[in-house]
Chain A
């Protein structure tokens, strides 16, 4: 354990030393209010995602907490991302590897890992990736005479297509996205979600945003039914040291 603390201390020290050169810290705080077919009314969750960028590299870590939710689990998810930018001709590709943990039950959990790449094209943003999902039974569920401890869903396609009214350098923007990935959630590729986002700079270091998400079930079965809706608000703070 002492070695772990030493390693963490060393990493922080290196990051601090590197900071003045060409690095950046970003904190993203968000609050979700919504309703789904499984939420038994209103649910509220909050999350904090911090990112540290240096040169072409980015490290991200985030955690989600349920404030009102029937699952009665306060800590509900965590995500870790390591990314790097690549220049291909005039284009910049943003590649990332991620791990997502969903702590949805005291008896089981989901672990997801995967790879994704993203690219800007003027008013458009495209993301594409693959994820590998495993539903796992915890040790403490053994009293339920469990026989199968894990079930895997491999090679799930991740996608996001977003259109932005303004180009990214403008101080405000409105975008419409179709995706199966959100913070702390990756749906099956056949369950797209629709999101409308508005964001604006309120100071040189702070952006506010508001999102509305609609989740239809069964759309690709040509039998679309309501599954859920939520509104999200948050801010992204990029402190200038």
Chain B
């Protein structure tokens, strides 16, 4: 009984049939928000810089997140990506999460939603707190700049509008940058059997071809709750461990971006 109640509080059977809003609606709302709140270009004073990425926090409970934020505030990476499933979708969990996040000027946070963030009408809460689920920005050094694209595939698909936006960005913006990094929640390839959903094969075909043609260097995902990595074409696909409190080996990703290469490692909490 307890288990059933716990499960019901975290997942929503309605979502098996229909979501509260379409991914195209979320995309349009995000673009409107982006127009009103353009993302600033981040500037690195050195040629080599670091960013961090975490995923699957599943707040309410935020002990692991708190530990991670302590370390991040100390190390001051140029950016922290939060690759979805920040909460369980409940309004209270959003409030718990927001309460522990530091101010944006002390640690630049770049969240995107995961499937759990959409449960129980969670998009409204997400939008209220973070504004946008799809955006891009660049990080500049004195010599060059790198393109970062954050995508919303929390519903298992990018949707038609977001895909067209991504294609245009890769076609016109990508050539002006040195590296290109994509961040989204649902991992694309299934390197191990898992119950969670990935993008359709037809969508994956388009995405993989885009990555090859436009020389995407890195794709960061969460969702699987277990870290793994693979290279396909020129692109490194990294899936993150979960940071949720109940996960036995929580870790976060440290990516070091330098003139010659992108290197990565996981740091256990």
The digit string for B183-216, where 1 denotes a CB below 8 A from any CB of A, is 0001001110111111111111110110011010
- Count CB-based A-B contacts (< 8 Å): 162
The digit string for B1-35, where 1 denotes a CB below 8 A from any CB of A, is 00000000001111111110011000000000000
Most buried by A among B23, B158, B190, B213: B190
Q: B101 at interface (Cβ–Cβ under 8 A)?
A: no
A141 to chain B, nearest CB (A): 6
Q: Is the CB of A224 within 8 A of B209?
A: no
Which B residues have a C-beta under 8 Å from some C-beta of A? 11-19, 22-23, 115, 118-119, 154-160, 163-164, 186, 189-191, 193-206, 208-209, 212-213, 215, 230-235
A188 to B12, CA, bound (A): 22
Interface segment, A53-61, A82-90, A150-158, A169-177? Answer: A150-158
Q: Is the CB of A218 within 8 A of B155?
A: yes
Interface segment, A23-31, A101-109, A115-123? Answer: A101-109
A150 to B203, CA, bound (A): 18
Q: A226 at interface (Cβ–Cβ under 8 A)?
A: yes
The digit string for A6-22, where 1 denotes a CB below 8 A from any CB of B, is 00000000000000000
Residues of A within 8 A of B233 (CB): 107-108, 137, 141, 144, 146-148
For A188, the closest partner residue in chain B by CB is B198
A220 to B164, CA, bound (A): 25
Q: Is the CB of B234 within 8 A of A147?
A: yes
Which of A155, A188, A215 touches B197 (beta carbons < 8 Å)?
A188
B222 to chain A, nearest CB (A): 12
Q: Identify 6 residue pairs between A and B in the complex whose beta-carbon atoms are under 8 Å apart, listed by A's number.
A: A137-B212, A137-B232, A146-B233, A190-B194, A222-B15, A223-B154
Interface hits, A96-135 → B, CB 8 Å: 102, 104-105, 107-108, 110, 135
Residues of A within 8 A of B205 (CB): 38, 71, 102, 104-105, 108, 110
A38 to B205, CA, bound (A): 10
A144 to B234, CA, bound (A): 7
Query: Given contacts A105-B209, A187-B200, is CB(A223)–CB(B195) below 8 Å?
Result: no
Query: Given contacts A37-B157, A38-B203, A107-B209, is CB(A188)–CB(B234) below 8 Å?
Result: no
Q: Is the CB of B157 within 8 A of A227?
A: yes
The digit string for A58-71, where 1 denotes a CB below 8 A from any CB of B, is 00000000000001
A45 to chain B, nearest CB (A): 12
Interface contacts beyond A71-B205, A220-B195, A225-B23: sample of 12 additional A-B pairs, CB < 8 Å, sorted by A: A37-B157, A38-B206, A108-B205, A146-B234, A148-B232, A188-B198, A217-B156, A222-B11, A222-B119, A223-B19, A227-B200, A228-B200
A61 to chain B, nearest CB (A): 21
Which of A105, A141, A187, A190 touches B195 (beta carbons < 8 Å)?
A190
A77 to chain B, nearest CB (A): 11
Which of A135, A146, A220, A225 touches B157 (beta carbons < 8 Å)?
A225
Residues of B within 8 A of A71 (CB): 205
Q: Is the CB of A153 within 8 A of B191?
A: yes
For A190, the closest partner residue in chain B by CB is B197
Q: Is the CB of A219 within 8 A of B232?
A: no
For B230, the closest partner residue in chain A by CB is A151
A187 to B119, CA, bound (A): 25
**Number of A interface residues in the complex (CB < 8 A):** 43
A102 to B164, CA, bound (A): 23
Q: Is the CB of B15 within 8 A of A221?
A: yes
B194 to chain A, nearest CB (A): 8
Query: Given contacts A147-B231, A148-B233, A215-B200, is CB(A221)–CB(B209) below 8 Å?
Result: no
Q: Is the CB of A223 within 8 A of B15?
A: yes
Q: A36 at interface (Cβ–Cβ under 8 A)?
A: yes
A153 to B118, CA, bound (A): 28
A219 to B197, CA, bound (A): 8
Residues of A within 8 A of B119 (CB): 222-223
Q: Which 10 A-B pairs have the closest CB atoms?
A: A218-B156, A225-B155, A148-B231, A217-B156, A222-B15, A217-B157, A221-B115, A223-B115, A190-B197, A104-B205
Residues of B within 8 A of A102 (CB): 201, 205
Q: A185 at interface (Cβ–Cβ under 8 A)?
A: yes
Residues of B within 8 A of A36 (CB): 200, 202-203
Q: Is the CB of A220 within 8 A of B163?
A: no
Q: Is the CB of B208 within 8 A of A135?
A: yes
Residues of A within 8 A of B232 (CB): 135, 137, 148, 150-151
For A193, the closest partner residue in chain B by CB is B200
Q: Is the CB of B201 within 8 A of A221?
A: no
For B26, the closest partner residue in chain A by CB is A225
